[in-house]
Amino acid sequence: MNWLLVVAGAAVGAPLRYLTDRIAKARFGLGLPWGTFAVNVVGSFVLGLLTGVSSERLHLLLGTGLCGALTTYSTFSYETLKLYEDGAKGYAVLNVAGSLAVGLGAVWLGVETARPW
């Protein structure tokens, strides 16, 4: 039955990822992959929050299902390579450095937010 929790989370995460990317491209254009950046940062924060939760079911639903479908390392890698190959080497470096720094900051903030007072 645990697989249903993963499927339910993924059924929400995948469309959210798609919609976020579409909205970001419409709003900011094609310069930097803001949609992928946004979903990866949000997913990092949610996974950080889950460190304070002991429920295996919640981890399956939100961690494995939702975040697994929402976040994307492969698209991040592809978009960064595409920026580089298209001559936007500075944007490629900015995408890597920004994604790493902000993603780590988001997971840290999630962990800190989940800590009991």
pLDDT in tens, 72-94: 999 999 999 999 999 999 999 99
Instruction: Single out the residue of 16, 3, 104 nearest to residue 60, CA to CA.
Output: 3
pLDDT in tens, 26-44: 999 888 999 999 999 999 9
Using the structure block, give the residue that is written with the tokens 């059924």: 11
DSSP state of 63: I
Q: What percent of the chain has pLDDT over 90?
A: 91
Supply the pTM of this predicted model: 0.92
68 is in an annotated binding site: yes
- The number of distinct structural domains making up the chain is 1
pLDDT category at 53 given cuts 50, 70, 90 is confident
For 23-27, 33-37, 52-56, which range has the lowest pLDDT when averaged over its residues?
52-56
> What is the Cα–Cα distance from 35 to 84, expressed in whole angstroms?
18
**Can you give the residue range of the structural domain that contains 37?**
2-114
**Would the CA dihedral through 43, 49, 52, 57 be positive or negative?**
negative
pLDDT of residue 31: 87
31 is in an annotated binding site: no
Does the structure show a pLDDT above 80 at 104? yes
* C-alpha of 24 from chain center: 14
